[in-house]
Amino acid sequence: MESRKPEAQTLDLSPPSRSGWLERIFKLSVHGTTVKTELIAGLTTFITMAYIIFVNPNIMADAGIDHGAAFVATCIAAALGCLLMGLYANWPVGLAPGMGLNAFFTYTVVGTMGYNWETALGAVFISGVLFMFLTLSRVREWLLNSIPVSLRFAMGAGVGLFLGLIGLKTAGIVVDSPATLIRLGSLREPGPLLAAVCFLMIAVLSYHRVFGAILISIIAVTLAGWGLGLVHYNGVMSTPPSLAPTWMAMDVAGVFNISMISVVLAFLFVHMFDTAGTLMGVAQRAGLVKADGKIENLSRALKADSASSVFGAMVGVPPVTSYVESAAGVAAGGRTGLTAVTVGVLFIAAMFFAPLAGMIPAYATAGALIYVAMLMMGGMAHIEWDELTESIPAIVTAIMMPLTFSVADGIALGFITYVVLKAGTGKHKEVSVSLWVLCAIFIAKFIFL
């Protein structure tokens, strides 16, 4: 019997296939990324977003919510949103309670309109459910397309102005005046001075693209306050505070009031347009736009965002939304949901740093509010300034939010101005059916409420 020679072994020089569970879940190789790159991108996004765990509890506390519970709720809501976005939509986007929306929640719905924070949470819940309904149906696209582009940009800018005024007021940089309503506060006081330093420090560091500019500035100003005896050391880590004060505390029944319609619509519109703009911007940078122009898993990303707001209301925070700071993680190489999951895990870990969060003074977070406000106002650059029927309603929308101290009233006045100007100049065909309906609702609100 003839013996067979062993076959020559060939050397396989092809790279090993990644068949691990992370590859199966996030399709890393398809998106041209690695686990290490995604983890670094997640850390980058978290550091650029981490200021929210200091800022949001301070704003929520002004509404009467327990600071410790608000801190834990912020971390949990952000973590849930990030995990949902990463595992369901496979997008490298971080989520957390929305800046501007939290100010509207506290200073307008609770502070000016006089509702308790439980009812305000109920409004957040209802708006989140409506957002989910719109996302699951074609109504979302119809509504997005029916609202004029100028008003969409104006809403974001107006929320920025509103947030900036709150930051200036919180810091004491502007104060009330019987003669002129507001005036410049005393910059000799340490609070206003340190808030101004924080804002300028963030702006300078951001210009130089310093990693975590907002977080660094908040901590630096807090340390300065500690050195001046204005901040007391309470420790760094501890067991997370109880979530009991805010868990399922929302009052949904209290929302079914005619005067709350504008509040729910304000939460819905600002959240919806802010989310759409953020997700589309991040999708472009992350290479999620296909050759035919369609965005990969956009519907899932919108569903994850809207569902996060519903969960957020349950734990006790304003609408949870996608953060534009996610672009920092994308710039660091983040391309899949593993980036978002990393952010979510870091938010969970942040719950154990409650003493540190409690030490952050209001003037430090005020500096961050003012800076974020400046960024949000950039949308005004996209308005058609030469077309008065577009620019005037946009200006009314943006200006009236801080002047009335209400996002809802600013939106209402802007929409009414838009419809009246278009109708009065013979351009009524440019007004959508939904806009006519909303205009009628807003007019009825001002007349009867």
Tabulate helix, strand, coil % of the chain (nearest 5): 65, 5, 30
pLDDT in tens, 424-448: 999 988 888 888 888 887 888 777 6
Task: Spell out the alpha helix ranges (H) of 50-100.
Answer: 52-61, 67-84
CB 264 within 8 A of CB 408: no
End-to-end Cα separation, the chain, in angstroms: 103
395-419: burial string, b at 16+ Cβ within 10 Å, e else: bbbbbbbbbbbbbbbbbbbbbbbbb
Whether the predicted pLDDT of 45 surpasses 80: yes
Instruction: With cut-offs at 50, 70 and 90, classify the pLDDT of residue 303.
Output: confident
The tokens describing 378, both together, are 């950039």
Res 411: pLDDT: 83
Q: Does residue 149 carry a pLDDT above 90? A: no
| Sequence-distant (≥ 6) Cβ neighbours of residue 396 within 8 angstroms | 410, 413, 414, 417
Query: Are residues 146 and 433 in contact, defined by beta-carbon separation less than 8 angstroms?
Result: yes
Work out the percent of the chain whose per-residue pLDDT is above 90: 30
Single-letter residue type at 197: V
For residues 18 and 28, what is the distance between their CA atoms, to the nearest angstrom?
Answer: 8
- Annotate 147-195 with DSSP letters as a single string: S-HHHHHHHHHHHHHHHHHHHHHHHTSEEEETTTEEEE--TTSHHHHHH
Between 79 and 328, the more confident residue is: 79
pLDDT at 11: 41
Assign 19 a pLDDT band (cuts: 50, 70, 90). very low
Does residue 219 carry a pLDDT above 80?
A: yes
Is residue 202 predicted with pLDDT exceeding 50?
yes
Q: Is 278 exposed, middle or buried (0-12, 13-18, 19+ CB in 10 A)?
A: buried
> Quick one: pLDDT at residue 51?
84
pLDDT, the chain, mean: 84
Percent of the chain with pLDDT over 70: 92
Contact yes or no for 319/101 (Cβ under 8 A):
yes
Please indicate, yes or no, whether the overall pTM of this predicted structure exceeds 0.85: no
Q: Which residue has the tokens 């939290």?
A: 102
Q: What is the pLDDT of residues 362-402, one digit of tens each?
A: 888 888 888 888 877 887 888 889 999 999 999 999 899 88
Map residue 97 onto helix, strand or coil: strand
Q: What is the arithmetic mean of pLDDT over 320-342?
A: 84
Highest mean pLDDT among 39-53, 69-83, 147-161, 225-239: 69-83
More confidently predicted of 89 and 18: 89
DSSP string, 81-117: HHHHIIIII-----EEEPTTHHHIIIIIIITTT---H
Residue 65, pLDDT above cutoff 90: yes
pLDDT at 448: 64
pLDDT at 165: 87
143 confidence band (pLDDT: 50, 70, 90): low
Q: Distance from CA of residue 378 to its chain's centroid?
A: 15
Instruction: Using DSSP bridges, classify how beta strands 320-322 and 174-177 pair: parallel, antiparallel or unpaired.
Output: unpaired
- Whether residue 270 is predicted with pLDDT greater than 50 in this model: the reply is yes
Question: What is the per-residue pLDDT across 225-245, written as a single tens digit (0 to 9) for each?
Answer: 998 888 888 777 788 899 999
Identify any residues that bridge with 95 across adjacent strands, giving them in sequence order: 322
Strand partners, 174: 184
| 62-to-67, 95, 266, 407 alpha-carbon distances in Å | 9, 23, 20, 18
